[in-house]
Every structure is written in structure tokens, then in C-alpha cells.
Amino acid sequence: MLLYPGLTLLDLIGPQTVFSWFANIHLVWKNVDPVVSDTGIGIQPSCTFETCPSELDILFVPGGFGQQQLMDDAEVLAFLADRAATSKYVTSVCSGSLLLGAAGLLKGYKATSHWATRDALSAFGAEPVDARVVVDRNRITGGGVTAGIDFGLVLLARLRGEEAAKLTQLAMEYDPEPPFLSGSPKTADSLTIQQATAFMVLHAAKQAERLPHRAAT
């Protein structure tokens, strides 16, 4: 599971919680210094690009406003391309799919992302799909943030069987009943969509101010 400054914590923790019941998880970044997420919570990498195993069942990329700084980061993109070649599944949640696209890993594949970034996938040769989880061969992508749990359960079912995924869903008591019908542009009213869009732009700017300047690569 790729880490980077400014990643969306829930993008990572949702799938990580699902996988943790059955998998050995590697949290990887350029170094082993704590990585600060969008909420300010630090995450300790367990390995670096150099020490990460060369063959993985799952290569996973979370989204987050920090993703924007990595779109032309040669070291990150090279790592993703290298591990993707030997991974059983190449995956992402939220805007993490844009990083997969930038690494050349979604060309000719159907994929999804957060609703605000989904259409940008076409710039990388992917076919954007408006869905919670999209499976296209060994590429599995999840929509925005909370879709990470759905994504994790879909992938767990493929790796460990449907029964394992079902018991995990129950153990997590994943039975969402959202209090408002505003969780998707398909159900939210136009004013809420406008306000959410403006809020995300403002939040992205604030996050960018907090992120460290990227070292030259």
C-alpha cells in the first residue's frame, strides 16, 4: 500500500482494515519517516521502495490531495510501474487511480475515481466509469473515499473467497445507512454539489500549503 504526504487517511484505512484480517500488509514510501495524512495523523512506513517485496498480491494506491504532487514524480511512477508488472492486482481508491494512470497502468482499462476527478482518467487512456467499484481484468479501482471499504471487500472475495469477504463485512458491521441522500452527485441537490466543489478546492489549497516541497528526482 503506497503512502505519501497528504494522502486521504480513509482511502488507506478502509481497505487496510478489510485486508488486515487475512494479509501481510506493506506500507511503502521513499523512506521510513512518518508520512502525514490529510487529517494530520502520521503513518509509519514499514518499508521503502527499495525494500518492498518485488512480487505482491495487491499493489494499492490511495487518493488524496497530495497525489497531485506525485503526478510527474519519476521515482514514484517508476516504482508503481515496476511492481505492477508482477502484482496479481493493480488497484486504487479515489484519486489514486490518477497516479496509476500517470504511471501508464490504466491505458485500455475501465476505471473509476472520486466523482470530481473521474473524467480526468480519459487523459491516461482509461475509460471512466461511474461506479462504486470497477473491475477490469486485474485492475480494480474504487470511487471516492468511503468506497474503499466496498473495494476492499470485492478484492478480498477474489483473493480469499466470498465467505471470507462476507464474514469480514459482518465483523466490521459494514451496513451503511447514510443520514442524508447527498453522498453522490446523482442524489445530491445542485446547491450541495456547488458547495462541495468549492469546499474541496479550498481544502486542496490548504493541504498544498502544508505539504513539504518535493525533493528533486
* Catalytic center residues: 94
d(CA 130, CA 119): 9
Report the relative pairing of strands 139-142 and 133-136 from DSSP bridges: antiparallel
Q: 93, 2 in Cβ contact below 8 A?
A: no
Q: 79, 50 in Cβ contact below 8 A?
A: no
Residue 209 makes CB contacts below 8 A (sequence gap 6+) with none
d(CA 116, CA 203): 14
Type of residue found at 24:
N
d(CA 44, CA 22): 20
